[in-house]
Amino acid sequence: MANAPTKPTTPVKKESSNSGLFATLTIPICIVVAIIIFIYILGDPSHYTDGDVEKGTATDFFGRIHKGGNLVPLIMSYLLIVIVFSIERFVVIGKAAGTGNVDAFVRKIQSALTAGNIDAAVAECDKQKGSVANVVKSGLKKYREMETDNTLDVDQKTLAIQKDIEEATTLEMPMLEQNLTIIATLVSIGTLTGLLGTVFGMINAFASLANAGSGSSTALSASISEALVNTALGISTSATSIVMYNIFTSKIDNLTYAIDETGFSIVSTFAASHKNSR
């Protein structure tokens, strides 16, 4: 009885391993892509006056970003990481939800349970697929198993069904939160790296002004403008990370609530239909 929920362990471990490999490969690839964009696209001579990247003045948006300094490609890699992992989480959470609307699926399961039609509920799980349906189906299988078990009383059977649902949830749901820590981490790191780049830029701007011995406000303003590019990129990255993190946590909470609601219906239905057999 305790061994029943262990069947999904292998695929879950495999998915976890694949997700870890995905993260390991994605991060360095995003950094390399950001560096290539910084050097060959943003740093193209066409974005500067006289085609001089070193001494020329930036003539457009891309040139101004390139003038932000060496921390710009690092911040750009953060943004790429957020985008790639957001796409990956959308796919994973979408698969976990299944092929149909989760709320409609929950209502169908509850209707089948109310009618006492466990076969119909299992059939709905087979149609829905995904992590939510897998957890519910595991609970329904335990429901059937407990109906034929003559060694336990109703309370023990009800507890066994509840425990099976909890174990199935433990096996299925953690995959949904994997890699979210990376997005959450970039919320802070994006802003901090942007501020660090700005500080370096300001130091260089004032140092150049002091060495030149000139009070040119134009040169100082241009240098400060370039330094603030880092802050703008950092804040943009952090804002994107916050939005995506909140979207994913909301979706995961909805799936967890659907499992809890359906699991409660399964347990309640079993207890109500077998209360006279105490």
Tell me the Ramachandran region of residue 149: left when phi exceeds 0, alpha when psi lies from -120 to 50, beta otherwise. Answer: beta
Hey, what long-range contacts does 142-145 have (CB within 8 A, 24 or more apart)? 142/4, 143/118, 143/266, 143/269, 143/270, 144/118, 145/1, 145/4
State pTM to two decimals: 0.84
Produce one character per residue of 151-165: b if its CB has 16 or more CB atoms within 10 Å, e if not. eeebeebbebbbebb
* Span 117-129, pLDDT tens digits: 999 999 999 999 9
Render pLDDT for 126-176 as a digit per residue (tens, 0 to 9). Answer: 999 999 999 999 999 999 999 888 888 888 999 999 999 999 998 888 888
Distance of CA 276 to the CA centre of its chain: 47
Model confidence at 192: pLDDT above 80: yes
Q: Which of 82, 49, 224 is nearest to 232 (CA)?
A: 224
Rounded average pLDDT over 258-265? 92
Domain ranges for the chain, please list them: 4-277
